[in-house]
Structure 1
């Protein structure tokens, strides 16, 4: 909110333009589930942004992308960058102990800059940020005990309370509904087993497949592919509790000492020989944009076939955004390989 007001004071954007931009911004398919409500003029006047915790976090992550044309002109944007780097370390899983001294330095700088640039916004939470180093040292990664899971569970009860229209004995209603829901979920027993679940299935014909993909499949599967006239394709595959979506971007490796993430984009999810495979485009990581706090990626049509069984999980699926003729990928945390 302070960044937007500073941009308005500098005549970079008006309150009405802020509302229009947040209304018309095209969120990716994966980020759309936590799409924040637009920032209206009345919210700016009241100095308060509405939305759930997940929606506010989504807005926080994508703020440099939504307002990419003005963030570098804001003096207080330095605070955002420090806080963003802190969150990348705090939300990382796994974490390294060698990061903690740097996290402590960041938290002290964050507190000092808040007191210098935004003294009116320096609430007690700003001081609590300096305690994360000690908390992580004693209890491990905060992602294992953060309150967002409580918020997610609490949202279910709020929906049931509103939709049931039962206000006579609401605790009993909520308890019964929760117990029945748990029985239903546990009856499947999928949460303890490896399984595959495809959705958005459809039959595609050979003439609908791109020629480069045909050559790749023919080279890999030979006569088995040539004899097929149709293929089964799905838009989403849940494999061992990990969601893979068509056109989404995933991290498949970390390179060099700096652990730079390398990405691929899923072009097709196909079923061949009774097994699901991914036809992916191996993206080139061109660098990291501090202004957007995102990795710039580009495609050189390096297609490959990947089995979901051979993918090591680093990060959930990501959306691809286009900013200033570049394609960028926005991570939610810092990545590292387990020892």
Structure 2
């Protein structure tokens, strides 16, 4: 346990206050993953149940597949509409960028005018590389660019393997300032639910430790293995038993 530093779920307040874990340090901790979960109607019979606090956040879906591409697309639309950058320049920057060893096998897709005009915000674009690709075309004092850089700073905190309580307080301010500035710069754009979830992230970090330990990326990667395996063996009599046996056989080999 790290004094003043949140590096694991054991450092979170939920673990420390748990009636079992607080008394028995050898108790087994299980982290469960449930996909395709729908939140109940907030106006129905469970209106008094807080919907956000009932679910552990997932930075992969909320940030990497939600807030980041959403803000990125609106920023690029402003740049192209104001002729700060053109679509051909953007496409050329992505194609000719010198990718590192960790990115060369997973290059971002080219962003076309059709994608920017569509309502789909699922841009398959690496946000952390975008400032390096087009930064020399953008004025340093551009407010839209600064707002995007502020979001990248928030993401750095969210994906930190360890974080102090002071940084959590700073993260709370960064998220608030980013969202407020976003509504000012993009008055026609709404704060989507996944952006609202980020407001609760600092509280979740205090409760459960760094959120990168709770995201669905590794779970979905493992889940994808079992989906491919089930498709190959084509045996549906007892799917769980069949997949378990094949997985154990592969582990032995």
Aligned residue number for residue 172 of structure 2: 104
- The 5-angstrom pairing of residues 256-275 of structure 1 reads none
The structure showing larger relative contact order (alpha-carbon pairs under 8 Å, at least 6 residues apart) is: 2
- The 5-angstrom pairing of residues 40-189 of structure 1 reads 40-48=112-120, 56=125, 59-72=126-139, 74-119=142-187, 120-157=189-226, 159-160=228-229, 164=232, 166=234, 169=236, 172=239, 176-177=242-243, 179-185=245-251, 187=252
- Structure 1 pair 161/96, CA: closer, same or farther in 2 (3 Å)? same
Q: CA offsets per residue over residues 70-100 of structure 1, 9 Å max, x none?
A: 2436431122122111111111112111211
Aligned residue number for residue 35 of structure 1: 107
Q: CA offsets per residue over residues 296-339 of structure 1, 9 Å max, x none?
A: xxxxxxxxxxxxxxxxxxxxxxxxxxxxxxxxxxxxxxxxxxxx
**CA distance in structure 2 between the partners assigned to 1:161 and 1:24 by the alignment:** 40
**CA distance in structure 2 between the partners assigned to 1:139 and 1:27 by the alignment:** 35
Q: CA offsets per residue over residues 219-256 of structure 1, 9 Å max, x none?
A: xxxxxxxxxxxxxxxxxxxxxxxxxxxxxxxxxxxxxx
CA RMSD of aligned residues (A): 2.9
- Structure 1 pair 50/90, CA: closer, same or farther in 2 (3 Å)? closer
Structure 1: 5+ residue runs without aligned partners? Answer: 189-339
Shift of 1:32: 2.3
8 Å Cα contact 1:90/1:142 also seen in 2: yes
Aligned residue number for residue 9 of structure 1: 81
8 Å Cα contact 2:183/2:191 also seen in 1: yes
**CA distance in structure 2 between the partners assigned to 1:169 and 1:41 by the alignment:** 45
**CA distance in structure 2 between the partners assigned to 1:87 and 1:138 by the alignment:** 19
8 Å Cα contact 1:89/1:95 also seen in 2: yes
Shift of 1:37: 2.1
Structure 2: 5+ residue runs without aligned partners? Answer: 1-72
8 Å Cα contact 2:171/2:202 also seen in 1: yes
Count of residues in correspondence between the two structures: 179
Q: TM-score, normalised by structure 1?
A: 0.46
Shift of 1:7: 1.4
- Between 83-92 and 112-121, report the one with greater CA deviation: 112-121
Would you tell me which structure has more helix in proportion to its own residues? 2
Shift of 1:67: 1.1
8 Å Cα contact 1:91/1:142 also seen in 2: yes
Shift of 1:110: 1.4
Q: TM-score, normalised by structure 2?
A: 0.60
8 Å Cα contact 1:39/1:49 also seen in 2: no
